Structure 1
């Protein structure tokens, strides 16, 4: 189940359980040690070591005869949601989010393909405007997996979308991939941003998943005067002629 990375087996299992806790896979308590031992195909003692390690950092606590419970106070301090937007804007300043619409819809061919869903699957479609001062600087269309977020009826533009999803449904994306493409503004987006069609924009496509690789969100964002700084580290191993690259968001 695990690739060897030099860590003891119980610490690797502890990391998996911790990621599940952070992504709210579990509600208030962990499954029993025997169930976890069966899932991970290890001895019960190994699971006990993993849970002891989580208890040592205050993430869980045991109650005799009842089980192992998640420490919600510690979780709130430990957990950090993915940022809704990774880009920065010029000039720098606070960005307000205006919710334009939130409707139930069905996946068309393009969205279904991006989310790995069947054509016609239920989705929630959220449209937002990014505003700096009194000037629109971005437009966001988000499709949320309707099987997970089917009862979503309200989004507060002043708060993180992911935090609201996590608090309401218990699930928010744990990882995301983004594609950045320079494009020319179309007429509809131009009207929303109060600019002329053809003005250059950043198009940002995000696919966000949970820890089980289920796609929870597909978003398309168009931004004006946005910038993204990336740091790319390259290296070559003596074991392989291929170069590897690691990309990190710049500071």
Structure 2
């Protein structure tokens, strides 16, 4: 029987020991039940559940309803740079794909109008997609473009990269990008679209794309899985 003796919170001590056990067991190995772990560490199942939940959020463990908890397989992390999702993935030798949720014309509200430098109630094109890496949902996003673009869905289904399609078919080139990064926890829509648990950590990124003249040509809200995402930026003086 293992007794916890630490100044750290009990759940954290359990968590770190479970991390060690998971690393030793290897991908796909089953973890002991919450009841067994509570007895092992002489603590409550609530404490064990919190430790497991954090390791699931970090991508160390997978929890399947009715089956139990298992060591997660090794999966690639996605590094975001100042290029498109598709180009970022290619640079990391990862296989990217997109599920188009919808493309529609919408009217600019005050916030979108300010971000895109257009009058309120201007016609915009909204592109909603789930982005995948190696077949696994990585992010869902909604991109707003300050013009109506016929045939955009067909072009996206053929190419996959919005930036590439904008450049080759509509003469719109993204020369500069401004990213604003925040955090949030998963709600019902995130759970449905990203196959994650309620309350899982997420990164919320707003990107404004500018052309060579500094005119906004894209405003995108992206929600990334916190357990599969890294942000990378290079700065030169």
Give the distance between the partners of 1:187 and 1:87, measured in 2 at CA.
Answer: 28
Which residue number in structure 2 is paired with residue 173 of structure 1? 174
Alignment partner for residue 230 of structure 2, among 227, 231, 235? 227
Cα displacement (A) at 1:189:
2.0
C-alpha contact 1:123 1:145 (8 A) present in aligned 2: yes
Partner SS for 1:156: helix
Query: Does the CA-based 8 Å contact 1:123-1:150 persist in structure 2?
Result: no
Name whichever structure is richer in helix by fraction: 2
SS in 1 for 2:152: coil
Mapped contact 2:100–2:130 kept (Cα < 8 A): yes
Q: Distance in 2 between matches of 1:130 and 1:102?
A: 15
State the shift of 1:171 in Å: 2.0
Measure the CA separation in 2 of the matches of 1:205 and 1:185: 17
Q: TM-score, normalised by structure 1?
A: 0.53
| Cα distance in 1 for residues equivalent to 2:168 and 2:135 | 30
Measure, in 1, the Cα distance between the counterparts of 2:212 and 2:221.
22
How far the C-alpha of 1:231 sits from its partner, in A, is 5.0
Alpha-carbon separation, structure 2, partners of 1:218 and 1:191: 24
2:205 maps to what in 1? 204
Cα drift, residue 83 of structure 1: 2.3
Counterpart contact for 2:97–2:133, Cα < 8 Å: yes
Q: Runs of at least 4 residues of structure 1 off by over 6 A?
A: none
Residues 173 and 93 of structure 1: CA distance in aligned 2, closer, same or farther (over 3 Å) = closer
Q: CA deviation at 1:219?
A: 0.3
User: What's the CA shift for 1:100?
Assistant: 1.6
Contact 1:87–1:226 (Cα < 8 Å) also in 2: no
Please name the residue that 2:131 is paired with: 130
* Kept in 2: contact 1:124–1:152 (CA 8 A): no
1:150 positional shift: 3.7
Structure 2 match to 1:156: 156
| Count of aligned positions | 150
CA distance in 2, matches of 1:123, 1:232: 32
SS at match of 1:190: helix
Deviations 1:131-180 (A, max 9, x none): 2334211111100111xx44353242443211211221222222111111
Offset from partner CA, 1:77-118 (integer Å, 9 cap, x none): xxxxx7213877xx9832212222111111122222221222
TM-score, structure 2 normalization: 0.56
Look up the SS of the partner of 1:102 in the other structure. strand
Q: Following the alignment from structure 1 to structure 2, what is the Cα–Cα distance between the partners of residues 208 and 176?
A: 5
Evaluate the alpha carbon distance shift between residue 109 and residue 186 of structure 1 in structure 2; reply closer, same or farther with a 3 A threshold. Answer: farther
**CA distance 1:214–1:230, change in 2 (3 Å):** closer
